[in-house]
Amino acid sequence: MRPLHDSPLALDPDTKRKHSVAFLLVIGAGYLALLVYLDRGTGILSRLVDLSGPLAVCAVLVLLSFAVRYQRWHAALSTQGHREFPWWAGLRAYLAGFAFTASPGKAGELLRIRYFGMFQVPPRTVLGTFIYERGLDLLVIVFLGLGAATLIPAFGLLVGVVLGFLLALCLAVAWPWLQATLNSVAARLPGKRVRHLANFLLSGARDAGPLLRLRTLAPGIAQGVLAWSLTAAAFAYLCYAMGIPLAWQHALGIYPVAMLAGAVSFVPGGVGTTEAAIVVMLGALGTSLDVALAAAVGIRLVSLWMAVAVGMLAMLSLELSSSRHGMR
């Protein structure tokens, strides 16, 4: 696999991957320890075992959402002139990014820089596509979460933070004066590595510019709505299987709102904060604490943690393939 010297975020050195894996193991171990602790008083683990059938259905819905999200990614790369790689090979590279999705701002998903390099996609193009994807996801999640807005007092603040971030992103991508100002600031930052990283991030933002056109945004938003609706439907079905009575707008809106809370908290993967938001909202609707905890943990197992597992498998297969072909 060819080195990506022009990307300070590329995970080419083995030490970076080892540190990321160690970080993920610490988070996973902490999460499991907390579950075991909570299980003593709530019986969460036994409830989840009893829900193995509904959780399997939820997992299928979430996997379908991954496929839709990749189709959006593939279309974005095609718009930027990268159409030569096979759809299935690109899917594996895309899924590998989920291996480190439990990171602040999902920045660990930029592992894709390493694997899309196999298809001659420049690192800054992958970064620009990642920025485009994250921006659309935030916009779609805000829209889907409107149905549950009354269940969490801080919803207005969450939306304000997200919309403020999206506005700043659009200005950074589309306003030449702001780009020039940011480039000037980046050039004055202390340390060569810091300047390199800042310039790389700015180049990625510029590369996202061509994607902010109606012909790309419209289908991208539609695909985002479909993908996150599938995940929201998985949560709604899980609540139905657990006997939690929810109005349809709450059933489809609670998980997106919880994801917003997790994103704004900037806790890696929203671990803990997303679950807490789900428990708070279900509690506001009269759900008991033990049932709400089981629903929160269950949906996270088939969304966040399944994504990590799928990403790890994809990453392992790509690393084995590159080793066999002498591409390191």
Over the stretch 49-77, which tens digit does the pLDDT of each residue have? 889 999 999 999 999 999 999 999 999 99
Cβ-based burial of 28 (10 A; exposed 0-12, middle 13-18, buried ≥19): middle
In a domain, 1, yes or no: no
Q: What is the pLDDT of residue 14?
A: 56
In a domain, 259, yes or no: yes
Cβ-based burial of 72 (10 A; exposed 0-12, middle 13-18, buried ≥19): buried
In a domain, 296, yes or no: yes
Q: What is the pLDDT of residue 2?
A: 43
In a domain, 271, yes or no: yes
Alpha-carbon span 285 to 275, nearest angstrom: 16
Nearest Cα to Cα of residue 48 among 33, 35, 64: 35
Alpha-carbon span 32 to 289, nearest angstrom: 19
More confident residue, 328 or 167: 167
Alpha-carbon span 171 to 164, nearest angstrom: 11
pTM of the model: 0.85
In a domain, 23, yes or no: yes
Alpha-carbon span 271 to 104, nearest angstrom: 10
Inter-residue contact 174 to 212 (CB < 8 Å): yes
In a domain, 4, yes or no: no
Inter-residue contact 318 to 91 (CB < 8 Å): no
Inter-residue contact 129 to 154 (CB < 8 Å): no
Please say if the pLDDT value at position 11 is more than 50.
no
In a domain, 149, yes or no: yes
Alpha-carbon span 131 to 123, nearest angstrom: 12
What is the pLDDT of the chain when averaged over all its residues?
83
Inter-residue contact 278 to 65 (CB < 8 Å): no
Q: How many domains does the chain have?
A: 1
List, for residues 253-268, the tens digit of each pLDDT value.
999 999 988 888 778 7
Contacts of 312 (CB under 8 A, 6+ apart): 99
In a domain, 6, yes or no: no
152: containing domain: 14-324
Q: What is the pLDDT of residue 223?
A: 96
Nearest Cα to Cα of residue 238 among 280, 300, 288, 284: 300
104 — pLDDT class (breaks 50, 70, 90): low
90 — pLDDT class (breaks 50, 70, 90): very high
Q: In residues, how long is the chain?
A: 328
